[in-house]
Structure 1
Amino acid sequence: MNLPPNSDSSSVKLYDLQVVSQMCRANEEQVLKMVEVFIGQISQSIKEIETAYSEKDFLKIKKLTHKIKPLLTYFGTSKLEQEFILTDELFSKEIVSSELDLKIANLNFLIHEVISQMKKDFNIPNI
């Protein structure tokens, strides 16, 4: 399979598609579709988390985080996954705080980094 490597080998690896590739039986078109779905779902989910947090809707946040966790594992986004786990621990306290504000901002940044790298590696245009 000729999946693109992470384009900047000097930086931390942002994702690893080994599990996705196995799930797709190394079908490159299917992997690309999965990457596109991941980009859409993770983008939408972080927006929904930010909205739910601003509304102090911690039940909705819990549901969204439960939905996102497997995606992070499947797509090998270990740095993002670690940050997400730390943020999720703060969400579980159900308290709005400046620490949680910073964690959400950092999550958003990391998500955009992963998405940007995937779009670059797979030649996916920005919409």
Structure 2
Amino acid sequence: MGLESIVCATDRRTARAALTLEPDCLLFERPADVAADDATIRSEPARIDAIVDLVSRERPETAVFVGGGIRTAADVERAFDLGVDATGAASAALEADDREAWLRSIAAAIPQSLE
């Protein structure tokens, strides 16, 4: 039917298992990170780096997304620097006082090669 698949993984073990399903995308997101100020992107970026490395070695055609706790343009930059293909920031978007300014800062943080 031409549908793309995405699976969510909260750790490397789950990600490795999910890759056996040959998904188009793997979303690394830990529930505790959602809307958190001390999310993995800031507190343990090596975890994200390990997921990117795992996917790169075991199923490089799968895109890596990261979510949970992405709140600022610096978080977006950090995520792309770690090698993810995409990221999201739903809670932060809803909580922004000036959504237009927030969105502009996020858009500016996306690498030009992805635009």
TM-score class, shorter? 0.3 to 0.5
Please report the TM-score for the alignment, with normalisation by the length of structure 2.
0.32
Larger radius of gyration: 1
RCO higher in structure (CA 8 A, sep ≥6): 1
